[in-house]
């Protein structure tokens, strides 16, 4: 039997950092990317990206027509056998054998990254902020949306993005709770800001992602997500909910919708409108700040997984205009 049955994942991406070039690798991974390319000699090969809940790694299938390489697609969990073959000081796998995993061999929870925080605790923190609202219409709006299991259930699970920041199960909730805490520190510093309006914007700005993204196997965009995007989808969801609530103030409705439409901050970043009220300006800055800080943290964690010294510069960070970053704690020898 070429591949014995395995019901528990024993090799994670994070384990690769302890390997040496040429070491044998055998395990199950989720296929995040699959591209057919042509090498310098003119022969074709597959460039793939394999992942589990502890990271991702590049892979190469140099002989895709080999009988040992079975048919597979992006989004499937596969079992591979090959060798650890780093390239340009980055982990990489040379895959010699591959087949799609059988259902009884895997636990999907091993393959999708998830928040390290306790989801019920995060949800309780979110509900605590909502309970503190003093504006009854905004409080009812947020409660109505979050208590709808078709929305609230997904809100607990959804990633905040496909790749860039908080791209893991529970990532949206983690991102929102982080923003709520930031907002509650910033708002008291500026008397012009309406706290309940800012917090409503924080909770609803990315609510369209519960329908824009799918996370059954890997993180992908739904067809509606590709065609409409989470801003438009969130706008429609909030608008329909407010229209169904009794006597929701028209001016407050306009402000809530503006928060959703403008939260990306700039037209070139996908916002249909620029922030034109103080609360929208604060929301866009806080949202961008939290996303960028998380991108930096992820880069530091990636360097650690790859075995880089803590005081080395990172690789280029896409979310920060391709600049490198220095981990100041590592540089100073602090934990």
Does 126 lie in the same domain as 98?
Answer: no
Does 147 lie in the same domain as 67?
Answer: no
Instruction: Name the residue range of residue 162's domain.
Output: 119-294
pLDDT of residue 1: 33
Q: Mean pLDDT over residues 38-51, rounded?
A: 89
pLDDT of residue 164: 62
Does 146 lie in the same domain as 91?
Answer: no
Instruction: Find where tokens 């100041």 sit.
Output: 328
pLDDT of residue 219: 77
Does 287 lie in the same domain as 176?
Answer: yes
Q: What CATH number has the domain bearing residue 175?
A: 1.10.3210
Q: Which helix (H) or strand (E) holds 195?
A: helix 195-204
Q: Decide if 40 is inside a domain.
A: yes
Is a pLDDT exceeding 70 seen at residue 217? no
- Say what percent of the chain tops pLDDT 70: 96
Select the more confidently predicted residue: 180 or 302: 180
pLDDT of residue 4: 43
Does 130 lie in the same domain as 276?
Answer: yes
Does 159 lie in the same domain as 60?
Answer: no
pLDDT of residue 277: 98
Model confidence at 134, pLDDT cuts 50, 70, 90, reads: very high
Q: Decide if 331 is inside a domain.
A: no
Q: Decide if 299 is inside a domain.
A: no
Weakest mean pLDDT among 6-15, 116-125, 261-270? 6-15
Does 101 lie in the same domain as 226?
Answer: no
Q: Which helix (H) or strand (E) holds 28?
A: strand 24-38
Is a pLDDT exceeding 90 seen at residue 102? no
Round the average pLDDT of the chain to a whole number and report it: 89
Q: What CATH number has the domain bearing residue 42?
A: 2.40.50.140
Q: Decide if 314 is inside a domain.
A: no
- What are the contacts of 279-285 at 24+ separation with CB within 8 A? 279/193, 279/194, 279/197, 279/198, 279/201, 279/255, 280/201, 282/183, 282/186, 282/187, 282/190, 282/193, 282/198, 283/183, 283/198, 283/201, 283/202, 283/205, 283/259
- Say what percent of the chain tops pLDDT 90: 50
Q: Decide if 316 is inside a domain.
A: no
Does 178 lie in the same domain as 97?
Answer: no
Q: How many domains, the chain?
A: 2
Q: Decide if 313 is inside a domain.
A: no
Q: What are 268's strand-pairing partners?
A: none
Model confidence at 53, pLDDT cuts 50, 70, 90, reads: confident
Does 103 lie in the same domain as 163?
Answer: no
172-216: pLDDT as tens digits: 999 999 999 999 999 999 999 999 999 999 999 999 988 888 877
Q: What are 69's strand-pairing partners?
A: 98
Does 96 lie in the same domain as 200?
Answer: no
């Amino acid at each position: 039997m070429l591949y014995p049955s395995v019901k528990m994942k024993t090799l994670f991406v994070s384990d690769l950092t302890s390997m040496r070039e040429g070491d044998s690798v055998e395990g199950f991974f989720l296929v995040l990317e699959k591209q057919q390319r042509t090498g310098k000699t003119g022969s074709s090969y597959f460039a793939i990206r394999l992942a589990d809940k502890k990271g991702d790694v590049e892979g190469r299938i140099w002989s895709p027509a080999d009988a040992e390489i079975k048919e597979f697609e992006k989004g499937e969990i596969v079992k591979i056998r090959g060798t650890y073959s780093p390239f340009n000081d980055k982990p990489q796998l040379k895959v010699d054998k591959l087949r799609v995993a059988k259902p009884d061999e895997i636990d999907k929870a091993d393959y999708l990254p998830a928040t390290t925080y306790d989801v019920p605790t995060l949800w309780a923190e979110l509900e605590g902020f909502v309970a503190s609202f003093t504006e009854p219409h905004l409080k009812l709006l947020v409660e109505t949306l979050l208590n709808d299991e078709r929305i609230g259930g997904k809100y607990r699970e959804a990633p905040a993005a496909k790749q860039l920041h908080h791209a893991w199960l529970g990532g949206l909730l983690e991102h929102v709770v982080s923003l709520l805490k930031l907002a509650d520190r910033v708002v008291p510093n500026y008397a012009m800001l309406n706290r309940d309006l800012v917090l409503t914007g924080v909770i609803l700005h990315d609510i369209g992602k519960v329908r824009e993204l799918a996370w059954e196997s890997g993180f992908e965009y739904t067809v509606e997500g590709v065609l409409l995007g989470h801003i438009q989808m969130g706008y429609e969801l909030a608008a329909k909910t407010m229209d169904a609530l009794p006597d929701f103030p028209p001016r407050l409705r306009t402000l809530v919708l503006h928060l959703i439409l403008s939260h990306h901050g700039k037209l070139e970043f996908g916002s249909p409108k620029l922030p034109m009220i103080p609360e929208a300006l604060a929301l866009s800055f806080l949202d961008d700040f939290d996303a960028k800080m998380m991108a930096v943290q992820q880069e530091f964690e990636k360097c650690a997984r790859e075995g880089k010294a803590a005081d080395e510069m990172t690789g280029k960070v896409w979310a920060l205009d391709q600049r490198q970053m220095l981990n100041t704690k590592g540089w100073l020898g602090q934990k």
